[in-house]
């Protein structure tokens, strides 16, 4: 009976520590190789619209996205779809909003370290959203804090860009200041300040500064605890079709980058195709073309390679192998799921 109890205890500990996923603590496993690099030169997997999962037509809409002051592209698409009375396209729209297939805690345990989060303040609470509200931000931040407390050599990046809405539109200056105070109080002393931007990974770990906040919002980025996205992120225009994607990757990979330059170079890679093609995803051959191209080139060029859930498992495996090489890159998964859902010039939806 004691033996059985020991075995059960072992498996319980494995579950709690995500031992089933070897990527759950990949930074710790690669620490000896990455500790002398800055965060700009370490390969890191990430997710775009990170908490956009489990969205249905019954979910609550973010009121800020339907406000005239901050009308979103998603809202415009939704209005056209409602007017069309086409249930199949509406269902397709809901599916497209689910960029991810799991919550942020699950993504952390899978190896994801870069999170792009859209905020919607509603009924005096902060939520993550993608047109529809998903989870309460309180629980997400608590999960991140708990994860970092259990994994003392992992670093997390949270990118808010300027996706910060309240019930009547974009947050005003007072609301942004209140949001900053909320973040600072919630994340305690884990935040990496601008003055530590070029610190080595080892120095960040030793000082227990392991959360990097990024934003392009003028008020939020004025604080020392929030890195200025307009300065540290280089993001080219996303392509619409596969050939353009591969061309963009190759052209970007041919550019000369300074290894220690404090810039995240974002290269978007889509596995989703426009609704006008009536195809949901690229085929296996095209996925292989993308991953092979990246695998052959990312070892020498600092970049954030951005894609969606359809390529994430392949990319995370590439990342964990590249992370064993010094002066590697930042790799992140990033996709706007409905960027080309409606193209006015093609009259996709009338």
- pLDDT tens, per residue, the chain with 350 residues: 455 555 445 444 444 444 557 789 999 999 998 899 999 888 778 887 889 999 999 999 999 999 998 999 889 889 888 888 888 888 888 888 888 889 999 999 988 899 989 999 999 999 999 999 999 999 999 999 999 999 999 999 999 999 999 999 999 999 999 999 999 999 989 999 999 999 999 999 999 999 999 999 999 999 999 999 999 987 654 443 444 445 555 555 454 444 456 777 666 665 554 433 334 455 665 666 666 666 665 555 556 666 566 666 666 766 666 665 544 444 444 333 333 333 333 333 33
Q: For residues 74 and 65, is the Cβ–Cβ distance under 8 A?
A: yes
For residue 42, give the DSSP letter.
S
Q: Could you give the maximum distance between any two Cα atoms of the chain, in Å?
A: 70
Grouping H, G, I as helix, E, B as strand and the rest as coil, residue 188 is coil
Nearest to 110 by CA among 50, 65, 56: 50
Q: For residues 322 and 331, is the Cβ–Cβ distance under 8 A?
A: yes
Name the CATH architecture for the domain at 38-341: Alpha-Beta Barrel (3.20)
Q: What is the pTM of this model?
A: 0.78
Grouping H, G, I as helix, E, B as strand and the rest as coil, residue 112 is coil
Take residue 287 and report the two structure tokens written for it.
């996925």
* Whole-Å CA distances, 49 to 1, 18, 135, 196, 296: 47, 23, 12, 26, 27
Nearest to 157 by CA among 192, 195, 129: 192
Nearest to 142 by CA among 208, 190, 186: 186
Share of the chain above pLDDT 90, in %: 43
pLDDT at 256: 43
């Amino acid at each position: 009976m004691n033996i059985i109890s020991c075995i059960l205890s072992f498996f319980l500990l494995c579950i709690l520590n995500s031992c089933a996923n070897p990527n759950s603590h990949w930074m710790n496993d690669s620490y000896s190789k990455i500790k002398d690099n800055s965060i700009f030169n370490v390969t890191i997997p990430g997710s775009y619209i990170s908490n956009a999962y489990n969205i249905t037509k019954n979910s609550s809409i973010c009121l800020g996205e339907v406000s005239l002051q901050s009308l979103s592209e998603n809202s415009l698409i939704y209005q056209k779809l409602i007017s069309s009375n086409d249930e199949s396209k509406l269902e397709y729209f809901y599916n497209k909003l689910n960029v991810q297939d799991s919550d942020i805690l699950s993504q952390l345990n899978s190896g994801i370290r870069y999170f792009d989060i859209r905020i919607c303040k509603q009924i005096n609470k902060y939520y993550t959203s993608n047109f529809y509200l998903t989870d309460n931000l309180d629980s997400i931040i608590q999960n991140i804090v708990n994860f970092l407390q259990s994994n003392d050599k992992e670093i997390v990046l949270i990118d808010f860009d300027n996706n910060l809405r309240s019930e009547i539109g974009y947050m005003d200056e007072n609301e942004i200041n209140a949001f900053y105070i909320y973040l600072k109080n919630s994340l305690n002393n884990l935040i990496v300040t601008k003055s530590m931007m070029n610190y080595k990974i080892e120095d960040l770990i030793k000082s227990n500064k392991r959360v990097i906040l990024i934003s392009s919002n003028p008020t939020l980025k004025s604080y020392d605890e929030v890195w200025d996205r307009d300065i540290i992120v280089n993001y080219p225009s996303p392509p619409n079709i596969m050939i353009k994607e591969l061309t963009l990757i190759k052209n970007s990979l041919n550019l000369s980058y300074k290894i220690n330059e404090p810039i995240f170079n974002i290269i978007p890679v889509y596995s989703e195709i426009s609704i006008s093609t009536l195809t949901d995803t690229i085929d296996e051959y095209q996925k292989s073309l993308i991953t092979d191209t990246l695998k052959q080139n990312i070892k020498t060029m600092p970049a954030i390679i951005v894609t969606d859930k359809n390529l994430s498992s392949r990319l995370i495996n590439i990342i964990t192998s590249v992370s064993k090489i010094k002066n590697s890159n930042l790799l992140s998964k990033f996709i706007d799921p409905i960027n080309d859902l409606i193209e006015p010039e093609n009259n996709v939806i009338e």
